[in-house]
Amino acid sequence: LAGIQKKALNEVTYELIRQVTSPTDLLRQQAMYLLQVFADVQKKSVVEVMEPHKDELADMIPPKKHLLRHQAANIQIGLMEGNTFCTTLSPRLFTLDLNVGEHQVFFQEVTSLCEAQDSTLLKLPCYKNIRSLVPLRKAAMRALAACHYVPNCSDKIFNTLYQALERPNPELQEAAFECMKTFVAGSQIDMAMVHEVMRPLLLTLGDYRNLNLSGARRLSYLVQLFPSSFSEKLCDQLLQHLRKLLDNLVQAQKGISKNGDA
């Protein structure tokens, strides 16, 4: 009986590992969850559970035979999320090494998915029929943030995620914030570089009219990420700006209400 149970567990584990890069979101997420459950039940790490079947993923973490952009969007998401999962386990099941050609190409493709404009991406055949690029970009940001351990890439990754934080879409902004938290927690950040990147934004804060909802969200995220970078004087100035912005919104709403009554 014990032998049968062991064989069945081994077969199920093998199948779950195959689904770690599945293009179907629910299947992929459940596979990752169940691998953790299996590990807990056996009092092992997820890596110990996956290690015997590691070769099953060797050609996909990262992709070795095909470029991301040659795959359908859902397949790209599955591959990126699978890479993120395997390279964020402790210890890592796979490690990205930019001295390896395929790894370098994967890093460049993921970075491009984070940085490229919608209009540029939508010209590519693989994205022409998708409704939204948001899930793709979120998967790319997570995969990029997971590369925090890669030597000599810290500044590049930070700048790319910071650009994503500037996007007007609130879902992408929040995803960029979560990815920056992951990146900052795992990497030695050059604070001089951070201050240099943030400087153009801070210079616009002399006038409250430069602050909009998207900008307020970005500031909120940056304060949470780098609280020591915001002096008490700057915080007081921001508070005054936010009060003025709120007052203006209230007055504008009152004007709309009056016109509606009229």
50-59 confidence digits (pLDDT tens)? 999 999 999 9
Average pLDDT score, the chain? 89
* Residue-wise pLDDT tens digits, 30-52: 999 999 999 999 999 999 999 99
Q: Residue 260's pLDDT is what?
A: 59
**Is residue 191 exposed (0-12), middle (13-18) or buried (19+ Cβ within 10 Å)?**
exposed
Q: Tokens in use for 173? A: 């902004």
Q: Residue 43's pLDDT is what?
A: 93
Among the ranges given (22-31, 153-162, 195-204), the one the predictor scored with the smallest mean pLDDT: 195-204
Q: Residue 26's pLDDT is what?
A: 96
Q: Residue 172's pLDDT is what?
A: 94
Higher-confidence residue of 2 and 261: namely 2
Q: Phi and psi dihedrals of 214, rounded to 5?
A: -65, -40
pLDDT at residue 241 above 80?
Answer: no
Higher-confidence residue of 233 and 225: namely 225
Task: Report the C-alpha gap between 215 and 227 in whole angstroms.
Answer: 17
What percentage of residues in the chain have a pLDDT greater than 70? 97
pLDDT at residue 124 above 70?
Answer: yes
Give the mean pLDDT of 129-153: 94
Higher-confidence residue of 249 and 193: namely 193
Q: Residue 259's pLDDT is what?
A: 64
- 193 CA to centre of own chain: 21
Q: Phi and psi dihedrals of 187, rounded to 5?
A: -130, 150
Highest mean pLDDT, choosing among 190-194, 201-205, 252-256: 190-194
pLDDT at residue 262 above 60?
Answer: no
pLDDT at residue 131 above 80?
Answer: yes
pLDDT at residue 160 above 70?
Answer: yes
Give the mean pLDDT of 152-168: 91
Higher-confidence residue of 167 and 209: namely 167
Model confidence, pTM: 0.86
